[in-house]
Amino acid sequence: MSSPPEPLSFEEVYGQNVDFVWRVVARLGVRPEAVEDVAQEVFVVVHRKLGEFRGMSSIRTWLFQIARLAVYDHRRTVRRKEAPARANDREGAIDVDGLATDTETWPDSTAARSEAVRLLHAILDDMDDEKREVFVLAELEQLAAPEIAEAVGIKVNTVYSRLRLAREAFNQALVRHHAHARARDRRVL
């Protein structure tokens, strides 16, 4: 990978990556109403540190590292404020199994899409952070394994092993969710 000779401007970085950062923040477990604040922290840091970004890694790898730290920092803060019983969950976390959503019959509407988002995020919430990070980068953001290894600070082999476990967890969570949905439908009928 060759280093870009021209330093990136904040405008460029923001414009091309704000959606990525926003999604990563949301997908790593920041509740919707706090995503903007955490993203703000990320980009304030980006603004300050951009001069130090030398293109040694991809910009998304670098941004992910910052976003990840911001998310974990935020979650620690939230955790301190929350009751201990809810400490490990996204505030107001959703029960994946109980989500009243049938993924096969979603109409193409905003409301339905947001149901899909809720389900996706709820499943991610049930994963531990190690699997979740790798899953988000690999399956949702389509980063390559070496990039993920760099972003998360692990070996490529570890990326693959975590991804395998994450996929299994994701598959199983969806199976459980649909089983519950079917059971609920039967009760309704």
Partner 1 sequence: MTTLNRRARALIAEVGESDGPTEIERARLRASVLSRVGATVAAGSAGAALTAEAKAKAAVVIAGTGGKEGLAGAPTIGTASTVAKGSLAALVTKALVAVVVVGVGATSYLVTSSSPRTAATAVVQAPARLAAPPGTPIASPAVVAPARALVAPAPVASIVASIGPALPLISPPARPSNAAVNAPLNAPVNASATAAMPQPSRAEAPSLPRSTNPAPETFGAETDALGTALAALRDRRPAEALAALDAQDSLYGQGVLGEERAASRIDALCALGRRAEARAAAARFLADHPHSLLAPRVAAACEGVSSP
Please report, as ranges, the residues that interact with partner 1 according to CB under 8 A: 9-12, 14, 18-19, 22-23, 26-27, 34-41, 43-45, 47-52, 65-66, 69-70, 73-74, 77, 103-104, 106, 113-114, 116-117, 119-121, 139-140, 160, 163-164, 167-168, 170-171, 174-175, 178
Q: Read off the DSSP letter of residue 156.
A: H
* Smallest gap from residue 35 Cβ to partner 1 (A): 8
Are 10 and 46 in contact by the 8 Å Cβ rule? The answer is: yes
Q: Are 3 and 48 in contact (CB under 8 A)?
A: no
Q: Which residues contact 53 (CB under 8 A, 6 or more apart)?
A: 7, 8, 59, 62
Instruction: Give min distance, CB of 85 to partner 1, in A.
Output: 22
Cβ 63 to partner 1 shortest distance, Å = 11
| Count of residues making up the chain | 189
The CB-of-1 to partner 1 minimum distance in angstroms stands at: 20
Q: Which is nearer to partner 1, 48 or 86 (CB)?
A: 48
Distance (Å, whole) CA 121 – CA 131? 14
